[in-house]
Structure 1
C-alpha cells in the first residue's frame, strides 16, 4: 500500500489489545508493519462488542491521515493459548454431547469481567445461562455488554445451564 493509496485492503493479523471501555484497540498484521486501529464500531458491525487479546483476526484496512485503520471485520478466531484451557465444569460431560449442542439465540443479562462471570437469557426459555470468563476468552471475546445479542452453545452443567461456546448472534439464525 502506498502513502496515497487509501483503498481497503484485506489482511490477517492478531489483536494486540482491545479495551471495550475505551472503545478501541490495535491489531498487528501477520506481514508486519505499524499497528492498525480497531474501533468498537467496526467490531459492532461484525456483531461483537469486544475481542480477546491475541485473537486471530481477518480485516479490511484503510490508510488514513492518522495511520492504518480497520474498516471491516471478516473473521475472528480465539487466541490459541486459551483455546485449550480446560474447565472443570466440562470434565464429566461427553465431548460428543458438547459438540452436538445447538447454537441458541440469547441476550446478555449482565457480565462482570472482574468477577469472571455473568448470565444470559436464551430466547423462549425462562432459566438463566451461566457464562464463565474462560468460555468468553476461548470464544475470542474479552467482555459482554448487557442486552448484547449472542448465539450460545448451552449444556446442562453441574450447577445448571451454562454456556460452553459463544458466537455472534447471526450464527443461531435458521438458514
Structure 2
C-alpha cells in the first residue's frame, strides 16, 4: 500500500471553507495566505466531531502535501462565517441577548433535519418535547446539515411558537470547551 502523505511538510493553515458537500464526502478550504484549494475530507471533519460545515466558515487546519495537492489532516478549530447575509430569526428577535447567552448547553439528539425545508427537530435528553432547529441557527453555529441520531449540545429558549435552538454545537466540540 502506497502512502503519499509527506509528514515533514505538515503545517497549520487558517482559511475559509469554500464549500463542503456531505453527500460527496468532501469539500475545499481556501487558505488566507493564498495558494491552491485544500481538500477537506469528511473523515477529517468527523474526527473533529462534525458531519458538516457551512460554506464561509473560518477554519484552522493541519495540512499536508500529497501527490495530488494539499489536504487537511486535522481540524483545530471552526468558527461560523464572519458575515451573515441571512435574515434574522423572528422567533427570537424580541428575546434579550443576555437571556439567549445565559441558556445552558443541553445534551440532545437530532430527531430529523431537512436541509431543503430549512429546519428539523432535536430531542433534549430527559425531556419529551421537540426542539425546533432552523437552518439559520446551524449556519450561525458553523454547521450546514444534521443527521438523524447525531449527538449535539444546544442552547434552547422558549420562542413565540415553542422551544427552539438558538445555538448548536457538535457534542465533541461542546464538551471540550
8 Å Cα contact 1:130/1:163 also seen in 2:
yes
Q: 1:129 and 1:83, CA in 2 relative to 1: closer, same or farther beyond 3 A?
A: farther
In structure 2, C-alpha distance between the alignment counterparts of 1:162 and 1:143, rounded to whole Å: 17
In structure 2, C-alpha distance between the alignment counterparts of 1:27 and 1:125, rounded to whole Å: 38
In structure 2, C-alpha distance between the alignment counterparts of 1:110 and 1:7, rounded to whole Å: 41
Residue 101 of structure 1: aligned partner:
103
2:169 to 147, 167, 172: 167
Residue 141 of structure 1: aligned partner:
143
Count of equivalent residues? 173
Consecutive unaligned residues in structure 2, runs of 5 or more: 1-5
What is the correspondence of 1:1-175 to structure 2 with a 5 Å cutoff? 6-82=8-84, 85-173=87-175
In structure 2, C-alpha distance between the alignment counterparts of 1:24 and 1:13, rounded to whole Å: 16
Shift of 1:6: 4.6
Consecutive unaligned residues in structure 1, runs of 5 or more: none
Shift of 1:164: 0.4
Q: 1:163 and 1:30, CA in 2 relative to 1: closer, same or farther beyond 3 A?
A: same
8 Å Cα contact 1:83/1:138 also seen in 2:
no
Query: Would you identify which runs of 4 or more consecutive aligned residues in structure 1 move more than 6 Å?
Result: none
Shift of 1:118: 0.3
8 Å Cα contact 1:105/1:173 also seen in 2:
no
